[in-house]
Structure 1
Amino acid sequence: MTREPPVLATQDLTIRFGGHVAVDAVSCAFDRGTLTAIVGPNGAGKTTYFNLISGQLTASAGRVHLNAEDITRLGPAARCDRGIGRAFQLTSLFPSLSVRENVRLVVQSRARRGFDLFSRADSHVELAERAEHVLAEVRLADKRDMTVSALPHGDQRKLEVAMMIALAPQVLMFDEPTAGMSVDEVPVILDLIRDLKADHDRTILLVEHKMDVIRSLADRIVVLHNGTLVAEGDPGEVMKMDVVQEAYLGRAPAAGAEARP
């Protein structure tokens, strides 16, 4: 059986800031319907790698491909239009509008109808229906008429996901989705990501530090250290590797293990 080509791939992706190489020739592929956790110690290059994929940063060298199309020189908006969505980077909510209107504006933008803050939702039936569908998917339908500024922090995070989903991306990118959340709010977001993962047409990339989150969600782990990809594969196997224990967990290799350069 011929293997389906990856939805997203980076080839020798590199970025330099002066003499510092923040991401160093990272080649990695992401298959449809999988959730990949990108892990590593602070300063490993995880968020920088995310920024290169989503277009917030321009690569010094290497390539980014989406569905075999070279998107390396496209900006964030064009990559979003091609199917890359990213949450939890910059808050892009309209705090004075309702939850439903926030989502409807994104649906409207996706439909190329332009923004009209003063139009009635029921004057665009199909847009309103799409917005309602998205709100139901992220479990915010019962709060559709609330002003965003009145939402709890966890629900604002859910709304950010709703707005990303409204763009109909193929690739969903989450940068530390549980950061700054209370103990009670974390399971809500994890359940939401788990539900998104159940749709096997979506490809999910997740930067996360919490190992229990990674173990519960990830199909695969990619480990970065000093901007270099040092390991990738099944979460259980990867986390046992000496290079991961040393680089990510800060543990010394087991007695008798081979020294690594």
Structure 2
Amino acid sequence: METRGLTIRFGGHVAVNAVSCAFRAGELTCIVGPNGAGKTTYFNLISGQLPASAGQILLGGEDVTRLPVPEKTRRGIGRAFQLTSLFPNLTVFENVRLAVQARLHLGLDLFSVWSHHRKVREQAEACLERVALADKRHQPVAALPHGDQRKLEVGILLALQPRVFMFDEPTAGMSVDEVPVILDLIHEIKQDRSKTVLLVEHKMDVVRSLADRIIVLHNGTLMADGDPAEVIASPIVQQAYLGVAPPDGAGAGNAEASHG
């Protein structure tokens, strides 16, 4: 997947400024930067929640910039959305089952659903096992704690089997015990050399453990792109974007303390 000059303006404010970046299959790219840097907005442009003011999004060489969200999903761009995208009154299993049905183009035709019942059920159950929610399959989503809802988001994304996985702070709000489940899953996904993984993350220990590459956004502009160790160690990232004090002691404090 690639973005070329991707831009969005809100009035006179440029939230994402001509970002050009190619993402390769078999690679996990972490997108970092301070709050308000444009990371989630960039994700929203790629997945279709926001329309681009300028630029292109290419998937497999095809321009998908103006396609609506459902069509981008069908083409293989998968996004772990905000929790409001879950169906709170349905059970955990029903949420994942609907994602499997959508991928298999079964719609809501009851006869079609019945004829594929076993296949749909097996795939949905497998996704729940992978995110450690099988024992809560019959619970309504509204009754789940925040951490389990985040795991369900990932389960739904797995059910869609996209070509491009997009995770926006997937461990936010999770307890220390829950985090490894999601990190292990992301690590597993990135072992599939046919998949592209994008991860917005503030926790630098997570970035270091998963990233094959880091890009840095600041005020909507791409400021750095490269090997994780080199990008993290670069003075401009340390001082201006991760908040680490420069050698003379001036600065904004330690990044890992401020970002989690």
TM-score range for the pair, normalised by the shorter chain length: 0.7 to 0.9
Distance 1:229 1:67 in 2: 22
2:233 pairs with one of 237, 240, 257: 240
Distance 1:220 1:100 in 2: 35
Q: Which runs of 4+ in 1 moved over 4 A?
A: 116-123, 252-255
Distance 1:149 1:118 in 2: 29
Distance 1:167 1:251 in 2: 39
Matched residue of 1:95: which SS? coil
Distance 1:125 1:183 in 2: 35
Deviations 1:3-52 (CA, angstroms, capped at 9, x unpaired): xxxxx100011111111111111110111011110001111111111111
Alignment of 1:1-261 (within 5 A): 8-115=1-108, 124-251=117-244, 253-254=246-247
Deviations 1:212-244 (CA, angstroms, capped at 9, x unpaired): 110011111000111111111111111111221
Distance 1:62 1:123 in 2: 41
Structure 1 stretch 83-92 or stretch 142-151: which is displaced more? Answer: 142-151
Deviation at 1:117, TM superposition (A): 8.4
Residue identity matched to 1:220: R
Distance 2:83 2:128 in 1: 20
Deviation at 1:209, TM superposition (A): 0.7
Q: TM-score, normalised by structure 1?
A: 0.86
Distance 1:106 1:244 in 2: 39
Distance 2:115 2:84 in 1: 27
Matched residue of 2:85: which SS? coil
Deviation at 1:120, TM superposition (A): 8.1
What is the RMSD computed on CA atoms of the aligned residues?
A: 2.2
Q: Which runs of 5 or more structure 2 residues have no equivalent in the other structure?
A: 249-260
Structure 1 stretch 69-78 or stretch 140-149: which is displaced more? Answer: 140-149
2:252 alignment counterpart: none
Instruction: From the superposition, tell whether residues 17 and 147 of structure 1 become closer, same or farther in structure 2 (CA, over 3 Å).
Output: closer
Distance 1:180 1:133 in 2: 24
Q: TM-score, normalised by structure 2?
A: 0.87
Figure out how many residues of one structure are paired with residues of the other and give that number: 248
Distance 1:167 1:179 in 2: 22
Matched residue of 1:52: which SS? helix
Deviation at 1:130, TM superposition (A): 1.8
- Percentage of identical aligned residues: 68
Deviation at 1:195, TM superposition (A): 2.4
Deviation at 1:190, TM superposition (A): 1.9
Structure 1 stretch 239-248 or stretch 176-185: which is displaced more? Answer: 176-185
Q: Which runs of 5 or more structure 1 residues have no equivalent in the other structure?
A: 1-7, 256-261
The structure richer in helix per residue is: 2
Matched residue of 2:186: which SS? helix
Deviation at 1:154, TM superposition (A): 2.1
Distance 1:120 1:143 in 2: 23
Instruction: From the superposition, tell whether residues 192 and 154 of structure 1 become closer, same or farther in structure 2 (CA, over 3 Å).
Output: farther
Distance 2:221 2:189 in 1: 29
Deviation at 1:55, TM superposition (A): 0.8
